[in-house]
């Protein structure tokens, strides 16, 4: 009798878990800034992978307003400490390489890095940070940067959804870019 009761309990618990998962899936809503991944192989076997979330412009002024020039002012999530832009939405935007690369001429070891930016009218600072699993940039710590570069943004046609991609693909390198609204922020990766 105990075996029958135990089996019945296990079956009921299993049915509850399945029904709960089904109900949660039915109530799930798509994210306003959907997740995306882009990747590019360079050379024989070097893979560059960027994981991010894609916010839309939605008629907003992006540069200098939604994404401020300089750091965001501190808030309760950052413990009132100013922080950079997460270079996307939601979770930390990340970039990874399976072998050592040069970014704008600077050597960066193979690994996965949090990608953060500080926007400016004439230049953007891009930081590659050891911490790659944060929610946004609220806990950003500059002492964990493995590289910080400054690049010039370029004017482009309107891009509604934030987009990462690759230009100027060659046998030993490519230019990675972020495009959003009317700006493109590029940086060079070489083997």
Same domain, 54 and 8: no
pLDDT of the residue at 15? 47
Instruction: State the pLDDT at residue 23.
Output: 46
- For 116-127, what is the mean pLDDT? 98
> Model pTM?
0.85
Residues 26 and 36 in one domain: no
> CA 167 from chain center: how many Å?
19
19 and 79 in a single domain? The answer is: no
Domain identity same for 25 and 113: no
150 pLDDT more than 70: yes
Say yes or no: 52 and 116 in one domain. Answer: yes
- Pair 103, 149: CB distance under 8 Å: yes
Tens-place pLDDT, residues 92-110: 999 999 999 999 999 999 9
Pick the more confident residue, 12 or 149: 149
Please count the structural domains in the chain.
2
Q: What is the pLDDT of residue 127?
A: 98
pLDDT digit string (tens) for 62-93? 999 999 999 999 999 999 999 999 999 999 99
Instruction: State residue 29's pLDDT score.
Output: 83
pLDDT score for 147: 98
Q: What is the mean pLDDT of residues 169-177?
A: 97
Residues 19, 38, single domain; the answer is: no
Q: How far is 37 from 160, CA to CA, in rounded Å? A: 17
For the stretch 24-50, pLDDT in tens is 556 788 879 999 999 999 999 999 999
Does residue 70 share a domain with residue 147? yes
Q: What is the mean pLDDT of residues 162-180?
A: 97
**Boundaries of domain holding 14:** 1-30
Q: Do 86 and 98 share a domain, yes or no?
A: yes
Q: Does one domain contain both 73 and 96?
A: yes
Say whether both 61 and 76 belong to one domain: yes
Q: Does 138 score more than 60 pLDDT?
A: yes
Per-residue model confidence as pLDDT tens digits over 2-30:
665 665 554 444 544 444 554 455 678 88
Residues 25 and 35 in one domain: no
**One domain for residues 111 and 138:** yes
For the chain, how long is the longest CA-to-CA vector? 77
Which strands make up the sheet holding 101-103, listed edge to edge?
106-108, 101-103, 173-190, 154-170
């Amino acid at each position: 009798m105990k075996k029958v009761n135990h089996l019945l309990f296990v079956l009921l618990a299993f049915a509850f878990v399945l029904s709960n998962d089904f109900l949660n899936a039915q109530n799930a809503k798509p994210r306003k800034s959907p997740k995306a991944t882009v990747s590019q192989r360079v050379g024989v076997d070097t893979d560059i992978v960027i994981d991010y979330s894609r916010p839309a412009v939605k008629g907003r002024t992006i540069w200098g307003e939604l994404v401020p020039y300089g750091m965001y002012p501190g808030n309760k999530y950052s413990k009132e400490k100013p922080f950079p832009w997460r270079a996307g939405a939601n979770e930390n935007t990340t970039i990874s390489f399976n072998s050592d690369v040069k970014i704008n001429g600077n050597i960066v070891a193979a690994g996965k890095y949090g990608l953060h930016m500080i926007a400016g009218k004439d230049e953007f600072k891009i930081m590659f940070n050891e911490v790659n699993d944060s929610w946004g940039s609220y806990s950003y710590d500059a002492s964990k940067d493995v590289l910080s570069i400054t690049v010039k943004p370029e004017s482009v046609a309107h891009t509604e959804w934030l987009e990462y991609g690759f230009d100027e693909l060659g046998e030993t390198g490519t230019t990675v870019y972020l495009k959003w609204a009317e700006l493109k922020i590029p940086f060079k990766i070489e083997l």
